[in-house]
Each structure stands twice: as structure tokens, then as C-alpha cells.
Amino acid sequence: MPSARRTVLAASLLLGLFALPLGAGAPGPAAAQGLSPEEIVDAFEAALGPIRTHRPSHPKGLCAAGHFQATPEGTRLSVAPVFSGERIDAIIRLGVAGANPQASDTARTTRSLAFRLETARGEQWDTASISAPIFGAPTPELLVAGLHARAPLPATGQPDPARVAAFIAAHPETTRQAAWLAANNPPASWATTPYWGVNTFLFRGQDGQTRPARWVFEPRAGVERLSAEQMQSLPRDFLADELRRRLQAGPVEFDMVLVFPAAGDDLLNPTQAWPEDRPRVTVGRLAIVAAEAGPGGPCDGISFLQLDMEPGIQMSDDPTLQARAAPYAVSLTRRSQGR
């Protein structure tokens, strides 16, 4: 992060303000230092196998449709067109993390909620969030190093446990997400987990002020996790049928909540959660109204990469955020071309 901007952020937070002066959100570096988008996607392929048809991250998924509508507070806090207060159609993808599209829905990994909003005037906003409050790497460089450390050895087809252990010992912050997942069983439904954005974004409000915030989509159905028994007994692919059944009774809804940091909160490291007591404002509601009857659908051809909508929603200088868009595009090209 440029030092002037870091100073403005720090000063603003120390004053107990959630606002930054206009213009403080100038875009930061567009990519990871020293890593091309291709090299980042190559690292996914080294660890998980070649990309042919599916995303290398959250390859299992279900397409769904719905809509988003900002609350009046959301319209106040962001001038982005998607926060106008109009009801905006959404193309949605619900995902399961893991290395393959046959991953088990009971696995101790994250679930995901990604969607594209398109206004009546054709303005688009894409975003993706996960069912854990933290990410597994603080920088793209460590994400890539971790993937290479877990790449299978040609002789065994398995990662080298010693190499993985050495990586973890050198970078313990990369284990925080796994620790959270070990302490929190997987969701009982795509509809019963919060989905966290984990990265900090800069929201410019109607008052011209820019405020750093992270978002979480809170399930209106409440939080429900699998029991240990259900983790053993439920079928591998239970999530899609569960969601389809649930939708027969009505929309599945999430409140989009912005969480504002306090002095000392780390704005740029998504492996570091903010304390629970931070100020929260509900800025919108996402409703899922229908899911595809089978695999595939309109979400398949989308890479949810357009993460900002300037000037109302702007990426912070969190390096894992800045490094996302370009590799997502490379990944989309590879899986579209089946190479």
C-alpha cells in the first residue's frame, strides 16, 4: 500500500472515524509482485492438476438465479449503481471448495457464494465470498508458494509431507483458515452459513466520504452446521438437492452487512479476522429464487472477477484482492478452451 494512503487510513481509524477523504482510494498495484497471472494459475495446476473444464478453486457448484436490492443505508453508504435501491437481477453460483468437481459436500472445506449483478443500464458487479471469515494466505506470493509446496511428487502422486510441514512451520499464518474450519463443522445447507468477503473494500458514500469495510452475507434462515453424524452419513452431493427443496418453500435470502474496522484492525491481511464487536450496517438483501435442475447453467461461463465498481465500491490495497482479477481471467480462458 502506498505509504500516504496507509497514513490516511491509520489516521482516520485512530480518530475513530470510518471515513476517508475523497480520493484516498486510488488503485494500488494491479498484480502480485514478480508473479504473472499465468504463473499464479500454473501454481493451481501444479497442485491440483491441469485445468480442463472446471475452476481450479471451488470447482463444484450450482447455478442459481435471484436478485439484490440495497437498503436505504446501503444507498447512503455507496454511490455504486448496484446500491441505487433498485431491484437488480443476479446470476448466482454456489460452490464447494476442493480440488475436484466431485468434492464431498460434507468435507471440511469452505462453501462459496458468487454472483453477478447487472443493472438495467448494463453496469456489472461481480463478487465471490466464502463460508469462513478468513482466507488461507496473506499474500499471492504465499498462496502460490503454498500451492507449490503441496504439488504431488511424480514418484508417489502425493504431496511430500516434509515439504508441506516445512512450509507450514515457516508460515503459520497460512493455517488460520484450516484451524477455523477444524473448529466449525461445514454448513448444513448453502442457505445456512454466513459468507464472508474477507478482503477490505473502500465504499464511497453519498456524502463523498470513503469508508473501508469488509462484508458478510448473513443467512436469513439462521446458521446451521452439520453434526459429526451427518458428516458421516449424508450423501456426497446433498447440497444441491437440499437447496432445490428449500426453494420450493420460498426464496433463500441473505442480508449483506458491512463491517467497519477500528483502530489497529489489519485492513490488508485477509488471514486476520476483525473482532466480533465492530460496527455493522445492513446494506442490502440478496435473494436466491431458483436453482438449475441439473449441472451447468449461466454461471459456468462467468469468472466472478470484476470485484470493484468505482467509485462506489473500490478494492483496497489488500494484495490478495489486487491479485485476483487477472488470474481469474486466465483461469476462465483455460477452462473455456479445455486446455
Q: Which is nearer to ligand HEM, 212 or 327 (CB)?
A: 327
Amino acid at 6: R
Nearer to ligand HEM, 60 or 67 (CB): 60
Terminal Cα distance for the chain, rounded: 36
SS3 content of the chain, % helix, strand, coil (to 5): 30, 25, 45
Binding string, residues 282-301; x marks residues near ligand HEM by CB under 6 A: --------------------
230 or 333: whose CB is closer to ligand HEM?
Answer: 333
Q: How far is the CB of 144 from ligand HEM (least distance, A)?
A: 8
Distance (Å, rounded) from C-alpha 272 to C-alpha 198?
9
Under the binding rule (CB under 6 A), the answer on residue 324 touching ligand HEM is yes
> CA-CA distance, 173 to 142, in Å (whole number)?
10
Instruction: Say which residues have a Cβ less than 8 Å from residue 171's Cβ, sequence separation at least 6.
Output: 142, 145, 146
Binding mask 78-107 for ligand HEM (x = CB under 6 A): ---------------x-x------------
Q: How far apart (Å, rounded) are the C-alpha atoms in residues 307 and 141?
A: 20
Our finding on whether 150 is near ligand HEM (CB under 6 A) is: no
**Beta bridge partners of residue 92, listed in sequence order:** 64, 115
Of these, 104, 177, 210, 331, which contacts ligand HEM (CB under 6 A)? 331
For residue 78, the one-letter residue type is S
Strand partners, 126: 116
Q: Does 130 contact ligand HEM by CB under 6 A?
A: yes
Residue 320 sits in the site that holds ligand HEM (CB under 6 A): yes
Could you tell me the smallest distance in angstroms from the CB atom of residue 163 to ligand HEM? 21
Size of interface with ligand HEM, in residues (CB under 6 A): 32
- For the annotated catalytic residues, the residue numbers are 58
How far is it, in rounded angstroms, from Cα 339 to Cα 337? 5
Nearest distance from C-beta of residue 248 to ligand HEM, angstroms: 24
Q: Is 280 helix (H, G, I), strand (E, B) or coil?
A: strand
Contact between 193 and ligand HEM by CB under 6 A: the answer reads: no
202 lies in the site for ligand HEM, by CB under 6 A: no
For the segment 43-72, give every residue that binds ligand HEM (CB under 6 A): 44, 55-58, 61
Regarding 326 and contact with ligand HEM (CB under 6 A), the answer is: no
| 11 three-class SS | helix
Which residue type does 83 have? F
Residue 201 contacts residue 214 (beta carbons within 8 Å): yes
The reply to whether 243 sits near ligand HEM by the rule CB under 6 A is no
CB atoms within 10 A of CB 54: 17
Task: List the x/- string, 105-124, binding to ligand HEM by CB under 6 A.
Answer: -------x-x----------
Per CB under 6 A, 40 contacts ligand HEM: yes
- Under 8 Å between Cβ of 12 and 2: no
Q: Residue 98 — left, alpha, or beta (φ > 0 → left; ψ -120 to 50 → alpha)? A: left
The nearest distance, CB 30 to ligand HEM, in angstroms, is 13
Residues that bind ligand HEM (CB under 6 A): 40-41, 44, 55-58, 61, 93, 95, 112, 114, 128-130, 135, 140, 143, 197-199, 270, 303-304, 320, 323-324, 327-328, 331-332, 335
